[in-house]
Structure 1
Amino acid sequence: MKRYPYADCFPSKNHCNSQESFPLLQVLPLILGLSTSAVSILLWQALVQQEQAQIQHALSVEAGNLELEIMEKIKPQVQALVRMADRWGRHGKPSQAEWEFNAALNVRDFRSYQAIAWVDPTHRVRWLVPLQGNEAALNYIPIFREQQFDGFIVATYRTQELINSILSEKDAHGYVVAIFDEKDQIYTHDDVGEGNRGKWHQESTVELYGLNWRVQVYPTALLSNRMRSPLPTITLIGGLAVSWLLALAAHLTYRARLIAQNVSAINTVLEQEVGERQRIEVALQEEQNFLQVLLHTIEAGIVACDAAGTLTLFNRAAREWHGLPEQPLPPEQWAQHYRTHLRS
């Protein structure tokens, strides 16, 4: 009986051509895995972009609110200087004592002022109500009397104190604020790193009577982690897992189909061989029956033994001649049992 390798082609035209007939089925699992993985990655990217847009929107809203708060806090202080300039323009130049008294009142009422000065049209500082310290932020209000330029009222601020008074509640919201005067950073929190600033930030501008601040808002690391959803990562991992599980299922289905074809081919071969063996057995049985009839009808006595000399066959003539049937006896017992010495 022939033996055929399990995964090889069996002697069946249908089986040998099965793999050639379905080339697409062989690469279908790979195509399925790659295509569904691509869909999962696209979905993940869409979710990440949506999340980024939501974070940027939240930062934009916070930056806009911060700009309004800064304007609302600074505007009353600037308006006090505008009133001083308006009085100068309407009533003429005040005395130095009167002007310094009004400036001192403003410095007292608005503690964020660093100093208030009058700068004449030649840009020389004439009158000054100072407080010691360096100036970082600057407001200047032009003075016009009868359409004639009469100098500036200039105010400098304690920048850190001014901004702290405006942003006192921002830390509770999880946002960090950095303020720049042109390229110089004039305010930030001490515990802020640069990690989130580059990736997540929104910027707004505050312009008011010489102030030109750029206000950047970005989330703290804790808030950034809270704002980021695990959904995109879960979607990506789950999508890739499902993709390759589908690919594996398709591969197993294809292998099961091949195995079914192999089993069918094996069964066909076995059926053919069983049928052939049955035909051979029938032919052998017929031949054996013919020989038996021939042996038993011939008039000569015929005796046969096997390779060990044991008697295995007495035909009819031999049994009639000896008067005994055949017995499976060894050669040394033939004479005694069949009394062949009496007939010699």
Structure 2
Amino acid sequence: MISFQSVGKTFPRAPSPALEDVNLDVVAGEVFGVIGQSGAGKSTLIRLINGLERPSLGRVLTDGDNVGDLDADALRALRRRVGMIFQHFNLLSSKTVAANVAFPLRVAGTPRDQIGARVAELLDLVGLSDQAAKYPAQLSGGQKQRVGIARALANHPRILLCDEATSALDPQTTEQILDLLAHLNRELGLTIVLITHEMEVIRRVCHRVAVLDAGSMVESGEVAEVFLHPRHPVTRRLVADAAGLAAAKVEGGPPTLRLTFRGAATFEPILGRIARDTGVDYSILAGRIDRIRDEPYGQLLVSLVGGDVALARARLTEAGVRVEEA
């Protein structure tokens, strides 16, 4: 659905490229996350998808179109197939909720007698049917973002771009918006590209993720693999901060191991059973049990002492636990 082919982007008078040699593909129907700290190039990358920026090098293909080659008319046609929601909502303060959602329909020339029905359908989809006559100032942050989502869906897009869509929201509202995006992905088959600096957002809704650092893509893959077994130092730092497993090493003590349990194994007493069988004592230094999308997982940082540590490690691996030096 979206393909970046050796893409670079340089802005005039900027000391370094905003993006450099980025290669990635987004598959139709998936939720693809892009994560990185401020200044990593995330916003530039997402704006290349719908032609708000043009690549300096390489090609960006969106829904079959080479974005850099499109003239004004073709670009407008592409943007009707690519909805976008923003961190700060970008609603028209002087228009009602219904008028905000209707705005892209009017711009696209939708017949007047069809606009009302489409607006009602969209407001029902995002749970705001009873807010149609209100103005943005009368809404909560979560309600404003739902209006933004309804507006982005007005012209039946095939792709939805989310530019830090939850960064201005409190944790509970963030969960509600992410649940809504996951629902839209499942029910409408939308391809969603979501950029964020929060690993928890990626963990909750994305199928795959790319990690950006200083304009370069340093790691990518299935969310579970990247989240649970990060390879690049930038990714390891993002994951450790999100999981609360950053500072658990005991200096001068036995080696610290990271044990990863997935699926049903998350809830089985594997560690205790193997410790008894091998005579090993263990200390749990940090840990977490949670979910990546719908799959449960657990991660423990442990130290093993006494008994047959090598046998314990082998038995853990045989039981489907991934054992790594932390």
TM-score of the alignment, normalized to the shorter chain, above 0.5: no
Q: Whose strand proportion is higher, 1 or 2?
A: 2
Higher-Rg member (1/2)? 1
Query: What TM-score does the superposition give when structure 1 sets the normalisation length?
Result: 0.16
